[in-house]
Structure 1
Amino acid sequence: MKLISIFFLNIFFSISLYAQEISHSVSKQLWPDVLGNHRAVILVGQNVDAAEVKIEWRRKDWDADQKAIVITDEKGNKIDNIYRINITREEGQFVFQPLNGAGKYYVYYYAWSGSKNIGGFSGDYLKREKAPNNEWLTKNELTSDKTKLVQAKVLEIQARTAFDSFFPMEVVAKQVEVERLIKKSAASYLVFPEDRKFPIKMFDDIPYKWISKGTSALFAGTAQRNEYYVFQLGVFAGKQNLKNVKIEYINSPFPATCFNTEGYSTKGDFFTKIVDVKKGKVQPFWIGLDIPLDAKPGLKEFQVRVKPENASASIIRVKINVTKDVLANRGDDETWRHSRLRWLNSKLGINDDVVKPYQNLKVQDQKITASSAEVVLKKDGLPASIVANGNPLLAAPLAFNILVNNQLLAFSSHDFKYATREAGKVSWESISFNDKLKLVCKASMEADGYLRYKISVNPLQDTKLDDINLQIPVKQELAKYFMGMGLPGSKCPGDYDWKWKGPQDSFWLGDVEAGLFCELRGSSYSGPLLNLYHPAPPKAWYNNNLGGFNIAADGNVLNTRTYCGPRSIKKGEALEFEFAMLITPVKPLDTKGQFANRYYHDGSHPEPPKDILESGVKIINVHHANQINPYINYPFGSVDSIKRFVSTWHKRGVKTKIYYTIRELSNQATELWALRSLSNEILADGNGGGYTWLREHLGSNYNAQWFTPINGTEACDAAILTSGESRWYNYYVEGLKWMIKKTDMDGLYLDDVSFDRDLLKRVRKVMDMVKPGCVIDLHSNTGFSKGPATQYMEFFPYINKLWFGESFQYDKMLPENWLVEVSGIPYGLMGDMLHAGGNPWRGMVYGMTVRYPWFTEGVNCDPREIWKVWDAFGIADAKMIGYWQKETPVHTSDPGVLATAYLKEDKILIAIASWNKDITEIKLNIDWKKIGWKPEDRILCPAIENFQPAKNLGLNDTIKVDPIKGYLLIINKKK
């Protein structure tokens, strides 16, 4: 990005290089951005009342005649009288009234009104200017065909900044020029070789540069050893539609690939793409050459064959001069080289290796043992038993039931076998038969306790089914809590029915000691169900809304049943049912890390105050939309500022992480044009609109997302939506590796991401490979996810901390909701609060505070006073025993006031919080035998600003607790 900016600023562009007179440049001085990013500089040579000008602006927008023309003098004074003669996208011809007679004037043609705010752009182009004054029209006889006026001279066309410039690849060729070019050629299409410095940006037009230069059958370039060298071929379908254009290489001295026609998927599978080009359209083909470190210097020649299925092939000769120089990092350190396009086809991290902290899977007969889970399989491939953290979870085996005529079908023949046995993943297959159906079960278990199933139902004859359902019977004693399928985290109901609706596709059932997450899969998108990704429910389970879910308690068993309802299937038509399960907790609870590794997180101002170390902050999150990390999901142009920031705080013993995800991509991405050439593989389709830069350069077929002006700069970050799972995942993994190596950063802050657990596993593997000890924390908004703990649970084995809380109503949430949906404790994680500062009293029951300096207007959320109590007590070394645990030694006399104990050898910190509506008088009930020592007779109630006043309490005193509030109390061991 930086090199290209310098290139634009230091070289005076002139289309006269291509046989035209109008010069293009970047203005040396900024003008108000509401005037638009483009203007023509014109000179009026005489003192006249009316001057005519004709500007060949060669614009991309088809509604140029509907936009306002704004003309000012050199001082910025606006001219009112403008008489339009002819306004098209190719040229503008009009008469105006010079305010000061002879001199320079500026013609702006993309003026807009609106506002630029953090998170969004609101505005539109100004409509046509008001009609000129009739007296001026009459005086200058402008309506007369015989009128002769002084002609103003067009000096140049200017862009406000280099990033705004259209030159040279977005300066549009006129229609007559295009027709002339097509007519001159006998071929049905034309090929334009193009250097990587000039990405092909227009797909509906060709640039004037191609008109002036003409076609060529030669591409020549210079590369270095160890460089991944990239160039383009622009195919213009001038006379006909082109079908299935292939790119082939003849005698290439280096491995070559065309990113538009082939690649590797996110799972590492090779694929090819059919690329059609409609008549009148341009299709760029980006080609990469893998030049090795030991390449012999000299001129290398080969040919590229462009071969449409329905037209003759074109041969392009390629000459690459390989110099003696060796390029570091394949060229990835300089984005303009586009060498990182090869990251799109990366297979980094795609393997079945074990990811820390998990151990190798052990297989004995049909028992598979993971670090904290054990599964015994039946012959049909389903679990006969599941042991979570040493606790048998199932009351009976899982069942995949098929009913015909209200009778359960039996399958007497089974063929069970293991397909693969890797350290981090074991897979198996089972085939079952009866006279009507053949079932094929393919499944796997991973080292973190994650199971994935795909069951194919293959009819051997036309069959009418009453139902197909999945039943998971759980021991009632462990089925304390439930979340998902329309319910927030809550006590598990004994009777519940749900039909497919809303962004919900999964549930969790269990207790802190043991639980099971289940996701019903099979829809087109299987990542977290965010506000931007609401796919249809899984087709097989949904069954046109005949399917659903229910819970039923029966004695000591609580059974969940996911069903599809009645349907008819014909012989040869297979139905595929997919589901995945995760056994919880996924890891031991790290309370020491929770209390020791405190976060500083301020999106707009990532630089903490100098005294932050006194507060015990150990991790800083650098959000996007600031001067250190300005562009959303594209940190590569800011590597220097990030590296400096990381280095500064490493010297002070503080880790630094950055915001970097996938769901949307900044318009500042160098590879934006190459990605656009891939159709909607990576960048989602949409209705366009949004920030003016997007409208002027992308035009259409994009989905505008995040927008923010970057404080202290002229830059704006205007993102567009990505398409979900795509090769951008591969790029993301490689990009993370590069960023860690270049900046020494310590991990990621993930903010409502759209990718799946497979990618997160790759991310964790890369972090462990490059810099062990990297940290990942995950944020979500319940308004988007409708239960983020459910939607993201498959991530939990590979992240360190939760920050679920945006839109959470902490004062209204029941304890079960706090425990299950917010705290992360049942899954082996802990979290921080967010919305409106959370509730500090209730938060401490779950070991949570807000992050510093998180604030909300009118609410003091500063956690540092509580942190002081933590440090004085030494909470990081204490044993946390919550009210939800059987062995808890502390209760209160009122069930609406809950207590959590933080126990040390010589003292205990007790957090109490009320869920009652009224003031409650309580006493502490403490089992000192469980604690193992005798207490002093007094309770210390330290003063904590905005939390509690200091109090003197006796061990058996009554304590008044206000609604939604509580206390932090300390009792010391008797000496």
Structure 2
Amino acid sequence: MKIGTTLFGIFLLTSLSVLAQEVIYKSGADQWNGDSLGNHRVVVHVAAKEDVSKAQVEWRRRDHHTDAEIIVVDAKTNKRIPNVKVGNVNRESGDIFFQPVSGAGEYYIYFLPYSVQGRSNYPNAFYLKRTDTANPEWLKKVSGTHPAAQILYIESLNEMNSFFPMEVIAKAAEVSSLIKNNAGKSFLIFPEDRLHPIKMTDDLPYRWIQKGVTGKFDDSVSPGEHYSFQLGIFPLKDLKNVKVRFSDLKDKNKIIPAKLFSCLNTDGTGWDAKPVKIEVNVVKGKIQALWCLADIPANTASGEYNGVVYVSADGVAETPVQLNILVKKEILKDGGISEPVKQTRLTWLNSTMAQENTVISPYIPLKRENNSISLLGRKLTLGENGFPVKIETFFTPEMTGMTKEPKQVIQAPVQFVIEGAGGEIEKLVSSGLKYTSQTAGTIGWTSNSTSANMSVDVQAYVEFDGFVAYQVKVTALKDVNLTDIRLDLPMHKDAARYMMGLNLKGGNRPASYDWKWDVVSKNQDGAWLGDVNAGLNFSLRDEKYVRPLNTNFYLQKPLLLPSSWGNENKGGIRISENGDQVLVKNYSGERSMKKGESLYYNFTFLITPFHALDTDFQWKTRFYHKYENVDSIKTKGATIVNIHHANAINPFINYPFIEHKAMKNYIDKAHQVGLKVKIYNTVREVSNSAYELFPLRSLGHEIFSPGKGGGYSWLQEHVGEDYIAAWYVPEIKDAAVVNSGMSRWHNYYVEGMNWLTKQVGIDGIYLDDVAFDRTTMKRVKRVLTQDNHPGVIDLHSANQYNKNDGFNNSANLYMEHFPYLNRLWFGEYFDYEKNEPDFYMTEVSGIPFGLMGEMLQDGGNLWRGMVYGMTNRMPWGDGDDARPIWKVWDEFGIQGSKMLGYWTKSNPVKTGRADVLATSYVKDKAVLVSVGSWAKENTSFKLNIDWKALGLDPTKSTIYAPPVKNFQTEAVFKVGQDIPVEKNKGWLLIISEKGKI
């Protein structure tokens, strides 16, 4: 069911005789193909056979396509009538002459036909221009007076496409009369109930002309309800800084306090739990919807409460609207959340749910000893100036656990350097390190350092997952000329084997590298340098940092160049290697600063890895990516179902609330057979079926990004302009709009995840790219894992290293989310044949971050994938069947094994070749060896086996290749034998004393 089908359907069948003229609006129940004829038609009746009939239609259209094609169809034959002449046509009305070829009966006049062009999932609707199809002889007959066709009704393709009643426009003369009758006023207020969201910003609904300017609003509400209503503001002159004020609502000696009321458009709580104050300015002649919210207390006594809401603006006196609210007797225990058509979920936009930075499993509380802060598997030691002097990790090289001997991430203390015009270094003297906060989840500190010319104020904090944020305020104490302000990161060479970011694909770090800012086309402001068990991600920002749009929308809202680091593109990053040090020099270049001038050289760190590998979770957790019968899925060996969108229980993208009852029934059945169910739901775009779409639009660009509009016809006809059209599903006509980035929509998202976990029983979410930051990710993880729910989160990303995505690495872009993920699906548009092992390691596998992954894009490369413990996504394309690999895992008994990759010295089985790599899964005097070839041609290799480490007798052991469908044929190899391997392929070999397993 789409938006308000039941309630809306009542209005669709209502005659406009009550609200307008004798025009009836109906739903066509998808009787015709909208993609060929358009979404709207006028149904007329011709009384008798004539050569020419005239339809005079008062259609009151919000669109501006008055030059669009007019198609007339004979209802009896369903054939197009060529003899049509279009007379005077404007947005208010139109005259259409046609030849009623079948005589008396009904005819259809389609007035917004279009053609669909572009990609099926990113289409554009182009409205057909008017053509002349009439016979010249017939056209001669079109003159003078002709019999009038009776207008029966205006029909939309379906309820979703209807313009009635909030998009049926008032005529210019009606608006003019309204303004004249209210001369002297600065603006008019049209109160509107929550069932009729205000949708237009350029036209008054005809509904308001009929209602008039009454100055009062009547409504009813239940105790405990999340209540909302609207104030439609129509300025007769420009309004600046519109404000809304509420009085108490009273019923005799009972009160609903004014403090319970708020205006969503002017006040609220941000995604970061900070207060939001929004300046609302409205240009003369435009329309602004102000959504007013109130959580009515559950103990509110029934009765009729009266009060006033006042609207004002700068230099404009308050205008009152009388509120008469009837409070009913029945208490709503869920706040009305189960009836979202009443906009009861708008309160979610101001939620602070799960904001407290409590520690999330598997992480442990932070512990500070002097200036050393310990966290899971890592330690950060600070200097008196507030910058790190040591960063250490304690993960084993195999990433299977912890060790007492630390690995140094940085080779020397981090230095913040200010260099004068003559090359002299400012001698900054610290006043000491002060700790400002210390909780289990966060430890914060400050420090000030000064020289004769400069002052550096540091405010920083570390969180339990290894995220470190620095605000570095640099202030000139005198007028100064500077050669450079920079941050030197002296990485230890052993912790900087790999690199990704800064216009480099993931792989082995180059010995030297130079990079310059280019935010217009590059989504790049930092990088990750690391090894499997130690690394550091950094990002350079200033105080005006705004998260850009990601994926193929980056160019429409790119990064802002940091005024500090970027310095009018003088800044950059230079990487050089000297001995055991890899110096990452983040410089900003020459500049002058006036006395008292300040710049913010902010940056963030992520200390990697986040936790050890959970290989057993990888082996026992088997995903199935399709909505199917749960019994069928169970027989295929899967343990978790990922329900994507565009199906019966999750039809609309990133809005999984409409078919929640069907979803719950499915999940309940899945749980009964031992399956878990996760759903596709992320923040990047949102379906046009969202109940709150138009309230969100009333917030300007807070929720939806500005853009050129276009896209599928529904968006053009109802959203209008100034948006970015996103994913579209042709089968169900689901058209999405791009979110703008960080906003209160993330509060809604967290509340929605909480509701779906508690009320529907979801076991986690499948993320398809992410447009929110780590704060929201932590909140989501908290609500998904509450009350011992599993809260499994896996993230899919297409390869974003391309022009439209700003040449960013998916792993680098989303690394801040990695601490809360259970699995990666990085691989769409990745090339598994041409990319080298270092690319697999850094951009696909997740291993250097404590994660494991799976493969996408044509099933990946099965042989190379297993070197990293990866299979493919099942079922997706031809051959994407992971069951043969799962079968080998189970026959060998891979759960409980120890994964020893080619990247570790402790791997007991090696090939002796750099282009044919082996990973060992060791268990109970047996080992499953995965071999993957990157050789340029068919070749062979010999296994170099550490028999002692395996506890095996080579004279009694067998090297067995079990049969694996679409992977390998059965074979047995002798110890020391050359083993052939085809190009781009490999083997799964079991070595044991038991013979065939």
Taking the TM superposition and a 5 Å limit, the aligned residue runs for 1:126-205 are: 126-138=128-140, 140=141, 142-143=142-143, 147-186=144-183, 187-205=185-203
Q: Supply the distance in 1 between the matched residues of 2:832 and 2:966 (Cα, whole angstroms).
A: 17
Matched, 1:250 2:247: yes
- Relative to structure 1, the CA distance from residue 867 to residue 608 in structure 2 (aligned partners, 3 Å threshold; closer, same or farther) is farther
Give the alignment partner of residue 706 of structure 1, picking from 727, 745, 755: 727
| Corresponding residue number in structure 1 for 2:620 | 596
- Relative to structure 1, the CA distance from residue 971 to residue 413 in structure 2 (aligned partners, 3 Å threshold; closer, same or farther) is closer
**Displacement after TM superposition at 1:608 (Å):** 5.6
Q: Does the 8 Å CA contact 1:740/1:770 hold for their aligned counterparts? A: no
CA deviation vs aligned residue, 1:128-177 (integer Å, no higher than 9, x gap):
13153221122x2x34xxx2211111121112211111111111000001
| Corresponding residue number in structure 2 for 1:870 | 889
| Corresponding residue number in structure 2 for 1:693 | 714
SS in 2 for 1:151: coil
SS in 2 for 1:493: coil
**Displacement after TM superposition at 1:864 (Å):** 1.4
**Displacement after TM superposition at 1:923 (Å):** 1.1
SS in 2 for 1:355: coil
Q: Supply the distance in 2 between the matched residues of 1:685 and 1:225 (Cα, whole angstroms).
A: 38
Give the alignment partner of residue 990 of structure 2, picking from 955, 970, 974: 970
| Corresponding residue number in structure 2 for 1:214 | 212
Matched, 1:76 2:92: no
SS in 2 for 1:673: helix
Which structure 1 segments of 5+ residues have no match? Answer: none
So what's the TM-score if we normalise by structure 2?
Answer: 0.94
| Corresponding residue number in structure 1 for 2:463 | 446
**Displacement after TM superposition at 1:582 (Å):** 1.2
SS in 1 for 2:694: helix
The amino acid of 1:647's aligned partner reads D
- Relative to structure 1, the CA distance from residue 107 to residue 426 in structure 2 (aligned partners, 3 Å threshold; closer, same or farther) is same
- Relative to structure 1, the CA distance from residue 71 to residue 180 in structure 2 (aligned partners, 3 Å threshold; closer, same or farther) is farther
- Relative to structure 1, the CA distance from residue 115 to residue 496 in structure 2 (aligned partners, 3 Å threshold; closer, same or farther) is closer
| Corresponding residue number in structure 2 for 1:561 | 585
Matched, 1:898 2:930: no
CA deviation vs aligned residue, 1:881-935 (integer Å, no higher than 9, x gap):
1111121111113232111111111311111111111222211111122223324
| Corresponding residue number in structure 1 for 2:4 | 4
Matched, 1:825 2:847: yes
The amino acid of 1:530's aligned partner reads T
**Displacement after TM superposition at 1:29 (Å):** 6.3
Give the alignment partner of residue 526 of structure 1, picking from 547, 552, 555: 547
Give the alignment partner of residue 611 of structure 2, picking from 562, 579, 587: 587
CA deviation vs aligned residue, 1:680-705 (integer Å, no higher than 9, x gap):
11111211111111111111111111
Q: Does the 8 Å CA contact 1:413/1:434 hold for their aligned counterparts? A: no
Q: Does the 8 Å CA contact 1:193/1:232 hold for their aligned counterparts? A: yes
Give the alignment partner of residue 99 of structure 1, picking from 98, 101, 106: 101
| Corresponding residue number in structure 1 for 2:951 | 932
Q: Supply the distance in 2 between the matched residues of 1:17 and 1:73 (Cα, whole angstroms).
A: 29
SS in 1 for 2:658: helix
The amino acid of 2:961's aligned partner reads C
The amino acid of 1:559's aligned partner reads L
The amino acid of 2:168's aligned partner reads V
Q: Supply the distance in 1 between the matched residues of 2:699 and 2:336 (Cα, whole angstroms).
A: 22
**Displacement after TM superposition at 1:760 (Å):** 0.5
SS in 2 for 1:650: helix
More off after superposition, 872-881 vs 622-631:
622-631
Q: Supply the distance in 2 between the matched residues of 1:855 and 1:651 (Cα, whole angstroms).
A: 29
Matched, 1:516 2:532: no
Q: Does the 8 Å CA contact 2:3/2:691 hold for their aligned counterparts? A: no
| Corresponding residue number in structure 1 for 2:867 | 845
**Displacement after TM superposition at 1:388 (Å):** 1.1
Give the alignment partner of residue 667 of structure 2, picking from 646, 651, 664: 646
Which structure 2 segments of 5+ residues have no match? Answer: 250-255, 395-405
CA deviation vs aligned residue, 1:483-519 (integer Å, no higher than 9, x gap):
2212222222222222224222221122112111112
| Corresponding residue number in structure 2 for 1:341 | 346
**Displacement after TM superposition at 1:123 (Å):** 3.4
| Corresponding residue number in structure 1 for 2:765 | 748
Q: Supply the distance in 1 between the matched residues of 2:566 and 2:719 (Cα, whole angstroms).
A: 38
- Relative to structure 1, the CA distance from residue 753 to residue 28 in structure 2 (aligned partners, 3 Å threshold; closer, same or farther) is closer
CA deviation vs aligned residue, 1:265-320 (integer Å, no higher than 9, x gap):
11111122111111111111111121111111111111101112232321111111
Matched, 1:723 2:720: no
CA deviation vs aligned residue, 1:99-142 (integer Å, no higher than 9, x gap):
1122211111111223697522243222113153221122x2x3
Q: Does the 8 Å CA contact 2:267/2:276 hold for their aligned counterparts? A: yes
Give the alignment partner of residue 327 of structure 2, picking from 318, 322, 325: 322
**Displacement after TM superposition at 1:10 (Å):** 4.3
Q: Does the 8 Å CA contact 2:867/2:918 hold for their aligned counterparts? A: yes
CA deviation vs aligned residue, 1:306-345 (integer Å, no higher than 9, x gap):
1122323211111111111011311111111101111111
Q: Supply the distance in 2 between the matched residues of 1:281 and 1:74 (Cα, whole angstroms).
A: 44
Matched, 1:354 2:359: yes
Q: Does the 8 Å CA contact 1:69/1:128 hold for their aligned counterparts? A: no
Q: Does the 8 Å CA contact 1:548/1:563 hold for their aligned counterparts? A: yes
So what's the TM-score if we normalise by structure 1?
Answer: 0.96
| Corresponding residue number in structure 1 for 2:696 | 675
Q: Does the 8 Å CA contact 2:411/2:492 hold for their aligned counterparts? A: yes
Q: Supply the distance in 1 between the matched residues of 2:496 and 2:738 (Cα, whole angstroms).
A: 40
More off after superposition, 507-516 vs 200-209:
507-516
CA deviation vs aligned residue, 1:796-825 (integer Å, no higher than 9, x gap):
111111111011111111111111221111
Q: Supply the distance in 2 between the matched residues of 1:271 and 1:420 (Cα, whole angstroms).
A: 24
Give the alignment partner of residue 430 of structure 2, picking from 392, 413, 425: 413
Matched, 1:120 2:118: no
- Relative to structure 1, the CA distance from residue 122 to residue 695 in structure 2 (aligned partners, 3 Å threshold; closer, same or farther) is closer
SS in 1 for 2:782: helix
| Corresponding residue number in structure 2 for 1:17 | 18
| Corresponding residue number in structure 2 for 1:493 | 510
Taking the TM superposition and a 5 Å limit, the aligned residue runs for 1:920-959 are: 920-935=939-954, 936-959=956-979
Taking the TM superposition and a 5 Å limit, the aligned residue runs for 1:733-744 are: 733-744=750-761
Taking the TM superposition and a 5 Å limit, the aligned residue runs for 1:256-405 are: 256-389=261-394, 390-404=406-420, 405=422
- Relative to structure 1, the CA distance from residue 482 to residue 836 in structure 2 (aligned partners, 3 Å threshold; closer, same or farther) is same
SS in 2 for 1:969: strand
Taking the TM superposition and a 5 Å limit, the aligned residue runs for 1:589-628 are: 589-602=613-626, 606-607=627-628, 610-628=631-649
SS in 1 for 2:552: coil
Q: Does the 8 Å CA contact 1:689/1:695 hold for their aligned counterparts? A: yes
| Corresponding residue number in structure 1 for 2:399 | none
Q: Supply the distance in 2 between the matched residues of 1:688 and 1:487 (Cα, whole angstroms).
A: 33
More off after superposition, 27-36 vs 685-694:
27-36
Q: Does the 8 Å CA contact 1:615/1:867 hold for their aligned counterparts? A: no
Give the alignment partner of residue 764 of structure 1, picking from 781, 788, 802: 781
CA deviation vs aligned residue, 1:394-438 (integer Å, no higher than 9, x gap):
211011111112122111232321111121011111111111111
Q: Does the 8 Å CA contact 2:926/2:950 hold for their aligned counterparts? A: no
**Displacement after TM superposition at 1:770 (Å):** 5.1
The amino acid of 2:799's aligned partner reads T
**Displacement after TM superposition at 1:771 (Å):** 4.8
Q: Does the 8 Å CA contact 2:372/2:379 hold for their aligned counterparts? A: yes
**Displacement after TM superposition at 1:477 (Å):** 2.7
The amino acid of 1:13's aligned partner reads T
Q: Supply the distance in 2 between the matched residues of 1:774 and 1:317 (Cα, whole angstroms).
A: 47
Q: Supply the distance in 1 between the matched residues of 2:67 and 2:3 (Cα, whole angstroms).
A: 36
Q: Does the 8 Å CA contact 1:74/1:106 hold for their aligned counterparts? A: no
Matched, 1:435 2:456: no
Number of residue pairs matched by the alignment: 959
| Corresponding residue number in structure 2 for 1:915 | 934
Q: Supply the distance in 2 between the matched residues of 1:751 and 1:507 (Cα, whole angstroms).
A: 22
SS in 2 for 1:617: coil
Q: Does the 8 Å CA contact 1:505/1:537 hold for their aligned counterparts? A: no
